[in-house]
Each structure stands twice: as C-alpha cells, then as structure tokens.
Amino acid sequence: MPYITKEQAAKILKTSTRGVERLVSRGELKVTPEKVEGRTRLQPMYDEGQVRALAAKQTASADELATNSDTALATSSDDMDALDAEAADTPSAAPSQALQRAASPQTIEALGQVIADALREAQTPVNGAGGAVSVADLAHKMTLSFKEAARLSGVPESHLRSAYAEGKLRGAKIGRGVRVSPDALKAYVAKVLK
C-alpha cells in the first residue's frame, strides 16, 4: 500500500495541508505514522488509494451540487413565473399556499440554505471570546473594538485604525486595545459620507 505525504495528499485533494488536517479530524481520512528515511521522528503519511477515492468522491459531490444548483435555478425561475401567474389569477390566495404549490422541493431547500447561511453569518463571533455577537447586539454596546466597529459600520477595520491614528475618529486606549464609542463611529461615518 503506497503512502504519500500531507503535501501530496493536499495536492491530490486540491486543498491546503490544513484542509487535509480537517479531513483527518472529521474522520474522513486516516493518517498513519511512518518512519521516513532521514527523519528521526515518525511522519504522518496517508494511504494514496484512500486519498484518491476521497478526491473522486468530492469531485462527484461537487458535480452533483452544480447540477442540482443549475436545476434549482432553472426550476426557481419557472416557479416564480407560475407564482406570478397564480397570484394574478387568485388575488385572495395566501402567499404561503401559492408558494407551496409553485415551488419545487429543490427551490425550497436552496432558499432554506440561503437563509441558514445568512443567520449563521449574523451570529459569527467578532470578539474572539467564543460567544456569538450579532450586529444588533453591537449597536447596544457602549464601546466597540475596531473589529466590532468595522462589522457594525461596514467600513474596513484598516480604515478605522488609520482614522483613529490620524485623529479623525475619536477613541480611547483601554488596556492594550483601543475602544470607540458608537456615537464617535456614527459621527466619523457621517463625515466620510458627506
């Protein structure tokens, strides 16, 4: 059974070495410690057959996803036409009933995925503490880090740091970091947008 290195496995799987490590941690790929000539420690090696089988599986999954996405997109435009036609014919019909009749399961599943991704994005941690902080929660904080201020305002963090360094954005150094008040952030963004 030929073994390959992590770098070779990453090349076959078209991912990074960190991606290979993630596959191992999820149990999708097995690592075998092997003695390599010229090295004193055992090196992580991967079964080439297993790596190639996983690469083929990922390619097949990607092809299937692309096909399903194309079908769902084509179906969704047809569904929207049917929904528009039905809404014009029966103005008293509830929108949810019309959606249930017009939308295919693939369209509903794709829409659900988009909504789930948006909700997950709204709950991503911004302070590194592990707790999810939504944009709505940020609006109620008394002070903001540059990362939080960037997320709340939509202005890149690097621009906010530069504005603070140039004296255009008011803030205070607290501990090792700088904190900005929401009012100072609003004033800076309003001034920039004039």
The 10s digit of each residue's pLDDT in 65-120 is 666 655 555 555 555 555 555 555 555 555 555 555 556 666 677 777 777 776 66
d(CA 90, CA 107): 22
Write the DSSP assignment of 149-174 as a string of letters: HHHHH---HHHHHHHHHTTSS--EEE
Residue 123 dihedral angles phi and psi, to the nearest 5°: -110, 15
Q: What is the pLDDT of residues 59-71, one digit of tens each?
A: 877 667 666 655 5
- According to DSSP, the β-strands at 3-4 and 177-179 are unpaired
The backbone region for 111, taken as left when phi is positive above 0, alpha when psi lies in -120 to 50, beta otherwise, is: alpha
With bands split at pLDDT 50, 70 and 90, how would you rate the model's confidence at 136? low
- Who's near 33: CB < 8 A, 6+ residues apart? 42, 43, 44, 45
Give the residue among 57, 76, 77, 53 at the shortest CA–CA distance from 65: 57
Provide, rounded to the nearest whole percent, the portion of the chain with pLDDT above 90.
Answer: 8
Amino acid 134: pLDDT: 66
Q: What is the pLDDT of residue 6?
A: 86
- For 143-156, the pLDDT digits (tens) are 888 988 888 888 88
CA-wise closest residue to 58 among 15, 16, 13, 21: 13
Q: Note if the pTM is more than 0.85.
A: no
Predicted pLDDT of residue 22: 86
Q: pLDDT value at position 81? A: 58
169 confidence band (pLDDT: 50, 70, 90): very high
Q: What is the pLDDT of residue 99?
A: 55
A 10 A CB-CB count for 99 gives 15
Using alpha carbons only, what angle is made at residue 119 by residues 118 and 122, rounded to the nearest 5 degrees? 90
Whether residue 47 is predicted with pLDDT greater than 60 in this model: the reply is: yes
